[in-house]
Amino acid sequence: MNTLHNFFRADFTQSAEYLLAVSLGPLSEDCATSFAAMLGEMDPTEEGKGNWVATGDGNYTLDEAEVIYVGNNHEDLPTHPGFKYAVGVRLRPNADGARRLYLQFNDPVTE
């Protein structure tokens, strides 16, 4: 399984409330659009920055993506241990095979 390590240090806490409410299963069109915006903004790579899309082909598409985990971060996940929560997403396979990514975050910031 090819896990995208682009986001190992990325902090999605600003989207914590949204991410904690995401349902397991295939991403809806609206959810894929929201995820593409988050990933495009937070991707630290030159290739990925701003290039994530909800539908279409390529390495930065969420077409056929599926949420496989929402919950507490733990040592069995390929995430940074400094974060409390994680959301796992299985992406459509590419030439390198199956792919996953993990978004990590802490408790929502309340004002």
Q: Mind listing the pLDDT tens digit for each residue in 28-40?
A: 999 999 999 999 9
Residue 90: the pLDDT is: 95
Using alpha carbons, select from 99, 98, 68 the residue that is nearest to residue 86.
68
In a domain, 110, yes or no: no
pLDDT tens track for 59-84:
899 999 999 999 999 999 999 999 99
In a domain, 92, yes or no: yes
Strand partners, 86: 71, 104
Q: How many separate domains does the chain show?
A: 1
Decide if 22 contacts 31 (C-beta within 8 A). yes
pLDDT tens track for 5-62:
788 889 999 999 999 999 999 999 999 999 999 999 999 888 888 999 999 988 899 9
In a domain, 111, yes or no: no
Residue 6: the pLDDT is: 80
Decide if 102 contacts 78 (C-beta within 8 A). yes
pLDDT at residue 110 greater than cutoff 70:
no
List the domain range (segments joined by +) for residue 45. Answer: 2-105
Backbone angles phi, psi at 6, to 5 degrees: -50, -35
In a domain, 56, yes or no: yes
DSSP 3-state assignment of 16? helix
In a domain, 60, yes or no: yes
